[in-house]
Amino acid sequence: MIGWYIHHQGRGHLHRASAVAHAAAARGVRITGVSSLPPPADWPADWLQLDRDDAPDPDDGGRFREPTAGGALHWAPLHHSGLRRRSAQVSAWIDHAAPELLVADVSVEIALLARLHGIPVVTVALPGDRSDPAHRLGYSISSAVVGMWPAQATEILAGAPDVQALGGLSRFTPDGTPVENQQLEVLVLSGGGGGAVSAAAIAQLRRTLPQARLRILGGESSWEADPWPLLKRADLVLTAAGQNSIAEVAASRTPALVTALDRPHQEQAHMLAALERGPWPAVRAPAPDDDAGWDRAVAHTLSLDGADWTSWCDGAAADRFAALLHSMLAPTRRTSPTAPR
């Protein structure tokens, strides 16, 4: 059995874990979800619900004192009861369940806690500058570090010495079936993890393509649990450069205008720069007040071939991840496929 820690920020970590959990279940490998998020209805195995460690706590005076331990960690505030209970929950579960591996997506502190219990760790790396001491420590104690981008995405990450690039991982399976529209269809993906594509950029897109039918998902607008039909129908997507958004746009084979939101460790800036260096149908969105720049960028994006996303997301990343995890299990722990519970 494998544990998978799923960070609560946004939805990308959960979508990624769910896809791999189902692929692993087909190989007879159970993955227990470990998260402060509630379990999704279709999770194929067990789930450990954790206390939150990021809510103001009377035990620490409502403050988060010394959360980085002088820069050695990312989040371990002193005398925080949620953190204390959360760590105890993970330790008790490890003692009871004795997992063979733990996937950390993403928490240096959870990775360290597992390794201090003698459990091998697989860390999911994120784009950006991850050369700080806490990230380097997490990578150094990991048995494997994986990245959910193709090997061609150069310089997407700084700080991890050896990363296995498994390709963009989308919960949707690319099918390559074209959709014929009677009207130009444009979709805006703002993401679900805080921040959004700016209202100014969306307004500029409306001005540039007044004839288009435009839908906005995420940010300050409604969230769509299943954006796949809209992604498949879109002729152009304006999206933030989050990993999950890019993977799902790539799976839909839709050309994209991409903007980098301000994220810790320059995550989206690195993602967008890697896209620009590669062969993928992604164009940097201009500054919102650059009318001529938007005219050129939109025309260029609409001229691109969405099939060029294939090398970013070929639909097999979840299977590759599941195969890697299966290969790391002791031979006696490998089982024949069974029906998911």
Q: Provide, rounded to the nearest whole percent, the portion of the chain with pLDDT above 70.
A: 94
| Cα distances (Å, whole numbers) of residue 65 to 56, 77, 253 | 11, 5, 46
Q: Is residue 177 part of a domain?
A: no
**CATH code, 30:** 3.40.50.2000
pTM: 0.92
Q: Is residue 88 part of a domain?
A: yes
In the DSSP assignment, the letter for residue 174 is P
Q: Assess whether 144 and 84 both reside in one domain.
A: yes
Q: Is residue 180 part of a domain?
A: no
Q: Is residue 338 part of a domain?
A: no
Q: Assess whether 140 and 18 both reside in one domain.
A: yes
pLDDT surpassing 60 at residue 333:
no
Q: Assess whether 18 and 113 both reside in one domain.
A: yes
Q: Assess whether 213 and 301 both reside in one domain.
A: yes
Specify the pLDDT at position 341.
35
Strands 157-158, 128-129: pairing kind: parallel
Residue ranges making up the domain that contains 239: 185-311
Q: Assess whether 137 and 77 both reside in one domain.
A: yes
pLDDT per position as a tens digit, 237-247: 999 999 999 99
Q: Assess whether 129 and 231 both reside in one domain.
A: no
Q: Assess whether 84 and 162 both reside in one domain.
A: yes
Q: Assess whether 326 and 307 both reside in one domain.
A: no
Specify the pLDDT at position 11.
84
Confidence band for 194, pLDDT divided at 50, 70 and 90:
low
Supply 192's token pair.
């679900």
Q: Assess whether 79 and 144 both reside in one domain.
A: yes
Q: Is residue 179 part of a domain?
A: no
Confidence band for 178, pLDDT divided at 50, 70 and 90:
confident
pLDDT per position as a tens digit, 150-176: 999 999 999 988 999 999 999 999 987
DSSP 3-state helix, strand, coil percentages of the chain (rounded to 5)?
Answer: 35, 15, 45
Q: Assess whether 161 and 194 both reside in one domain.
A: no
CB-neighbour burial class of residue 116 (10 A; exposed 0-12, middle 13-18, buried 19+): exposed
Specify the pLDDT at position 338.
45
Q: Assess whether 96 and 144 both reside in one domain.
A: yes
The number of domains in the chain is 2
Q: Assess whether 36 and 136 both reside in one domain.
A: yes
